[in-house]
Chains A and B, each alone.
Chain A
Amino acid sequence: MSEPDETLDCRGQRCPLPVINLARRVPGLPAGAVVRVLADDPAAAVDIPAWCRMRGHEFLAAHPDAGPAYDVRV
């Protein structure tokens, strides 16, 4: 698991807050940056990839045993 450019800790947040906080953070990041979202709400596993598809970002990987964590390239 390579190091991301930015880590967003959304643990303890219920859906849809992890996706909202990811969307808030992304405009401040340079294009191509990798952001790792830590989110323990089970809905994040579905909603973060779906958000990437709707917003045209690249969903890189899910790490179910590390956070769980989700890597997104903006």
Chain B
Amino acid sequence: MSASPVYLDAASAAPPHPVARQAMLAALDDGWADPARLYAPARRARQLLDAAREAAAQTLGVRADELSFTPSGTAAAHAAVLGGLVGRRRAGTTLVHSAIEHSAVLHAAQRHTAAGGDAVSVPVDRLGRLDLDAWAAAVAAPGVALAALIGASHEVGTVQPVPAAAELSAEAGVPLYVDAAQLVGRAPLPAGWSVLTASAHKWGGPPGVGLLVVRKGTRWESPYPADERESGRTPGVVNLPAVVAAAASLRAAAADAAAEAARLAPLVDRIRARVAAEVPDVEVVGDPVDRLPHLVTFSCLYVDGEALLHALDRRGFAVSSGSSCTSSTLRPSHVLEAMGVLSHGNVRVSLHRETTEADVERFLAELPGIVAALRAEAGVTDL
């Protein structure tokens, strides 16, 4: 028996916004030439690129010359971290970051420490909230070049105290980089950051477009070999049709963000309450109040995460997991680990503009039976 598909993994990639498709098709016809050249088709491409930059900057409330398009959100995060460290190398070699940063940020941090730099990881509490006292001490230590804080956790949804962390960083004279991949196009941006990144496929744009914003006056230097594209911040010709689609869909998503948040947040509340009430031995994780409107994570005791994803997939549900058995490294999610919450049997559900109440109801109706069947199969029902 095949079930109708219900896609609940917007935090990995949101289904494309219809505006993105239209804009990409138009730009494929009109924006294939190299925007840096001096002839008519190039000028047309340049106009499209300038308009996309202007639109994206306006949506984020920044200056157009502060915003660069990158080949992905991951590339933007790498550039933000490494460029922020290079630009402040005279101030020191320490990177301060939260324990729950995206792996792209942590991998850039590893590159930095492998080259002789230092990285200090600041803990979070059981709900995934940054420890601000530890943050204050870490950024005030001598030799800190850059601080990195995720705007809201991509794994558990907890919104981070960015304004307070930014204030503490500013008092210490340390610029703050905010990974806003789960915020841009969904929620208002916090204040106080110097560098910010985002990823188009999280808001309904195409994959392969990231945003890197470096505020005026920030000491940031490209970590890459010299290249004149994108104000010298990221090398190579941009994928212009995808960039145009990203900017158009960002504007559309941001225009609907407040209404979408008001629609999705109660559905997430419903999932949190019903999963906790109707699935025995489940831990719903993340801050129940100060959280993203569209994302919820829970762990089911004694259940194998991979088996749970496959069972849900067979019933048509697409979700992701932070359990170790679902990762290529066979390690549990560093976010769940940092929070000290159950890591096996983990499911992350993330909603989007096409998610209906009926989708959520069907998920909630089927989940308890799916978990119970897996527990019965494993012989753990009475433990």
Give me the interface of A with B, judged by CB distance under 8 Å: 14-16, 19-20, 23-24, 41-43, 45-47, 49-51, 54
Contact = CB atoms under 8 A, between A and B. Distances in A.
Given A46-B340, A49-B340, A50-B340, A23 B324 contact: no
Interface residues of B, number: 25
Given A15-B325, A20-B383, A24-B383, A42 B330 contact: yes
Given A16-B302, A16-B304, A23-B302, A43 B343 contact: yes
- Residue from A14, A23, A46, A49 whose CB has the most chain B CB atoms within 10 Å: A46
State the main secondary structure of chain B at its contact with A. loop
B165 interface: no
A15 B323 contact: yes
B332 A50 contact: no
Contact of B323 (A20, A23, A43, A49): A43
A41 B324 CA distance: 9
Given A15-B332, A20-B378, A54-B283, A46 B302 contact: no
Contact of A15 (B340, B344, B380): B344
A49 B337 CA distance: 11
30 contacts: A14-B325, A14-B330, A15-B305, A15-B323, A15-B324, A15-B325, A15-B344, A16-B303, A16-B344, A16-B345, A19-B302, A20-B302, A20-B383, A23-B302, A23-B380, A23-B383, A24-B383, A42-B324, A45-B337, A46-B340, A46-B341, A46-B342, A46-B343, A47-B332, A50-B299, A50-B341, A51-B301, A51-B342, A54-B283, A54-B301
A21 B222 CA distance: 52
B380 A47 contact: no
B110 to A, nearest CB: 17
Contacts of B336: 46
B168 to A, nearest CB: 28
Given A15-B325, A41-B330, 10 more contacts: A14-B325, A15-B324, A16-B304, A42-B332, A43-B343, A45-B337, A47-B344, A51-B301, A51-B342, A54-B301
A14 B378 CA distance: 14
A14 B283 CA distance: 20
A33 B4 CA distance: 50
Nearest to B282: A54
B281 interface: yes
A63 to B, nearest CB: 18
A50 B380 contact: no
B342 A47 contact: yes
B270 interface: no
B111 interface: no
Interface string B158-196: 000000000000000000000000000000000000000
